[in-house]
Structure 1
């Protein structure tokens, strides 16, 4: 049987109200008595039931999720998973407050953070965009004791408690290895397409990609980076202009979204001029492109896992309860035409 708060009170020789004050760091307990309660907790191996405690105090934890609302299909899935999680948590004293923000816009993200009510928000999860204003707002949340989790794109030098997402450097290295091996020793130019090099996940993926290409495939040159802001038309026109300027390319790595624009260009090319392509995130467009041979590999991350993990991490930070670390690892998935789910 798991020890209860009654067992702790009996072992420490105090009342239930005293144990409750100690567990919740409330004043009114002498230091010696508090130490006796803590010793009983350690001796019995008591683990606090955070849900029961919240129910007893009629507390509702509001978790704010700030998610970009641009053209990225992955961000749409992230938001959909957050809304589904909010429905599942209804009645369990957790409220998910999902707030869309413009993508790649540090000032807009800072404004969204500034608009949060520190009296009602218990935790915050956000897709990080770097900027001094964002850093200042995260510092304000930290000073108020509100835990912050970054999703998908990290900001490790900023005040945040944890990052939830794949290792983006490793994802970039994986893309470089796949593309280099698919090309089988062929030499030539590679084009890298990003949404914006102002977000850390895209920067880290490019960093990992370059590490592998430069060290393992010296015949390949990944010297061209295009930014399409994850938009179909902007990506399509940037890639068309690049092909006209650079001539034939042998490989393409799409770091972010904008898959539709890339597919538009690939479909217009003769088959013999199409590059080997590695992209991110499995969706309707990349699935069809894999099946049609326009894309050769897709690196994927589980949006639902990330949302559920962010919720668990925030609740752990709020309640001071332990996590199962293995459950919170977001793994890199690789899909080819042959193993599509």
Structure 2
């Protein structure tokens, strides 16, 4: 049975937080303590001594990624990048598990099932008690975990790979407010995949804060959860436009842009309602070009896949790594990049 961080901490006489800092080459640990932790980790077989790495050089690193299923194009692109980039590297055995995205029990069961079979896990997780407990159990078994796109706090994860979602929400609010301009009281609406995702909750919080601070003439009349589903997004938007024919703006926190854009077009609101959303895809690119969408806040799935793979693989192999977080990028019709 593989040693855990707690085993190393107990043997070395330090905290698990200190062990985590040492194994990930973070600052804040005295050199004497660092050497003691590394020696203990090698003795317990958690990491391989440098002079013995050659014997295991050809053994592939087994990594598992748990992502939500559905019509979310960004997640599909992220999945594709994980598989493509892993396939281009030697010594990586990557498995992707697609589960029902908004069912915490299904997610927890999948995480439980990985115990004893995986060496590292990346997960886009709901912030839910059953999910947090499953992550704690998996981490206690010695498996490093990386959260993707949306973070979860107070669990022993290796790190978070993604953008600052609160900043992204503030950016969306600023864009929408500036694009609408000053004037009389106007109505805006929000769509979210699920506020059970901490990332979506943080985006909403950031958005509302900047609206309250700088654009008090804008009124959020509705917030709807559309489960990142294209058809549900279409139906909710069509109903919203009937209830509020004087709607001025929409901010979509998560996926479902295709359904929102279709509803705006069919109702004849595509050129009059300011529409800000996330993630550059083929569909949102077309919406920018025809004016249905006004701005897209993008996070690059290629970068997120690269960083998640590097973080997990290097940790399993006991190697040092530097994290380069993805950057927020605002895309308008005039600066659409090549895919």
- Aligned pairs for 1:1-341 within 5 A: 22=39, 25-26=42-43, 53=53, 55-56=55-56, 58-89=58-89, 92-118=90-116, 120-186=117-183, 187-270=185-268, 274-325=272-323, 328-341=324-337
CA contact (8 A) 1:248 1:273 kept: no
Cα 1:241–1:66 shift into 2, 3 Å: same
The offset of 1:58, in angstroms, is 5.0
Kindly report the root-mean-square deviation, in angstroms, between the aligned alpha carbons of the 2 structures: 2.2
Deviating more after overlay: 171-180 vs 93-102: 93-102
Q: Deviations over 1:180-228 (max 9, x none)?
A: 1111113311110111122111111111111111100010012410111
Q: Distance in 2 between matches of 1:212 and 1:55?
A: 56
Give the aligned length.
296
CA contact (8 A) 1:313 1:323 kept: yes
CA contact (8 A) 1:266 1:274 kept: no
The offset of 1:272, in angstroms, is 8.5
Q: Distance in 2 between matches of 1:24 and 1:158?
A: 22
CA contact (8 A) 1:166 1:301 kept: yes
The offset of 1:171, in angstroms, is 0.5
Deviating more after overlay: 165-174 vs 196-205: 196-205
CA contact (8 A) 1:213 1:222 kept: no
The offset of 1:271, in angstroms, is 5.3
TM-score (norm: length of structure 2): 0.82
After the TM superposition, which segments of 4 or more aligned residues of structure 1 sit over 6 Å from their partners?
A: none
Q: Distance in 2 between matches of 1:97 and 1:272?
A: 40
Q: Distance in 2 between matches of 1:231 and 1:25?
A: 47
Which is higher, the Rg of structure 1 or of structure 2?
A: 1
Secondary structure of the 1:25 match is helix
Question: Which structure is higher in RCO with an 8 Å CA cutoff and minimum separation 6?
Answer: 2
Q: Deviations over 1:290-324 (max 9, x none)?
A: 00011100000111110110111112322333222
CA contact (8 A) 1:259 1:286 kept: yes
Q: Distance in 2 between matches of 1:313 and 1:306?
A: 11
Gaps of 5+ in 1: 1-20, 29-47
Indicate the residue corresponding to 1:41 in structure 2: none
CA contact (8 A) 2:264 2:270 kept: no
The offset of 1:287, in angstroms, is 0.6
